Amino acid sequence: MDTKRQRMNSPDRELAIAVRASKAPAISRAAAVLRLLGKSDTPLGVQTIARELGLVPSTCLHVLRALVAEEFVSFDPDTKRYSLEAGVLTLARHWLRRNRFNDLAQPALDRISRTFDLTVLGVHIVGLDHIIVVATSQSSQNFQLSTQIGSRFPALISATGRCIAAFGDQDENDLEGRFKKLRWDEPPTFEEWKAQVRQTREQGFAVDAGNYIAGVTVVAAPVFRARGKLSHALVALGIGSALKRAGLPTLQNALLASAQSLSNQLSGEIDSE
């Protein structure tokens, strides 16, 4: 029992607890395998995967074979290597089809992106762990700030994080624990951050002025799926200096207006209030 944890690397720590907690550990393992294969630039062998995730090779093989059978993983019989298979695309397509936010948000993203020449994102807030980019409108200029649909970030980071803290419903202890784990270029103290969260709650949107990525200003406005149910956010990114020239207040208003309009459309009605 001691020799086993000789070199526990981070992904497999989390996996270990997920496996222990769940009543369907095979699924956690499968998810871990899929994510590992996703990250890897090259196809991987059984041993490599097992070692990386802290799995027993034979178990790992079972998992891989099941994933191959389900067409989520491809297997090259010559090299005996595994990689992601196109089956994952099919799921993604279904998800995209069914989510009104994407279609509704795209025009707004495009308009703001064009007007201010910024990269603008629509992000989906999943659980309280992560956000996922679900729609983008890239500015022609800022290629360096490009992000892809499907990218995943920690929930509490940057401007979006302040929105989640401000408008989501979680207790402060949990919040502080998560906050401690974040990686910023210029980390704010927890006190500073709480103040910014408070301000976010008052003004209705959040700003990250170079904390997450040095030199980059991020503005985020919350979108609610139903009364008070935070589900998405609109996020604009730009080089700090350029953003000031473009007129930060104007951008904030535009983002906020679009976000509120989306909230109305998502919660179903043309409703008043």
Partner DNA sequence: GAACGTTATTCGATATATAGAACATCCTCG
Partner DNA sequence: CGAGGATGTTCTATATATCGAATAACGTTC
Selection from DNA, a copy of itself, none that 4 binds (CB < 5 to 8 A by kind) is DNA
11 contributes a contact to a copy of itself by CB under 8 A: no
17 contributes a contact to a copy of itself by CB under 8 A: no
User: What is the Cα–Cα distance from 43 to 95, expressed in whole angstroms?
Assistant: 26
**Reduced to 3 states, what is the DSSP secondary structure of residue 8?**
coil
The DSSP bridge partners found for residue 226 are: 229
Sole binder of a copy of itself in the list 45, 48, 74, 260 (CB under 8 A): 74
**Minimum CB–partner distance for residue 91 and DNA (Å):** 20
Burial of 256 (0-12, 13-18, 19+ CB in 10 A): middle
| Residue 193 CB coordination number (10 Å) | 21
| Residue 68 CB coordination number (10 Å) | 15
223 contributes a contact to a copy of itself by CB under 8 A: no
**Minimum CB–partner distance for residue 22 and a copy of itself (Å):** 5
**Minimum CB–partner distance for residue 41 and DNA (Å):** 17
- Decide whether 26 or 226 has the Cβ nearer to DNA: 26
Residue numbers of the site for DNA (CB under 7 A)? 4, 23-26, 29, 45-48, 55-59, 61-63, 80-81
Selection from DNA, a copy of itself, none that 159 binds (CB < 5 to 8 A by kind) is none
48 contributes a contact to a copy of itself by CB under 8 A: no
Rg (CA), the chain: 21
Selection from DNA, a copy of itself, none that 267 binds (CB < 5 to 8 A by kind) is none
Q: Which amino acid is at 84?
A: L
**Reduced to 3 states, what is the DSSP secondary structure of residue 232?**
strand
- Decide whether 149 or 246 has the Cβ nearer to a copy of itself: 149
**Minimum CB–partner distance for residue 92 and a copy of itself (Å):** 3
Selection from a copy of itself, DNA, none that 100 binds (CB < 5 to 8 A by kind) is none
Q: 143 is written with which tokens?
A: 């290629």
Q: How would you label 27-47 residue by residue, b for 16+ Cβ within 10 Å and e otherwise?
A: ebbbebbbebbeebeebbebe
| Contact indicator for 264, 270 with CB cutoff of 8 Å | yes
User: What is the Cα–Cα distance from 223 to 256, expressed in whole angstroms?
Assistant: 9
- The residues that touch a copy of itself, with contacts defined as CB under 8 A, are 18, 21-28, 30-31, 34-35, 37-39, 41, 62-63, 65-67, 69-72, 74, 83-99, 124, 126-127, 129-130, 132, 134, 148-152
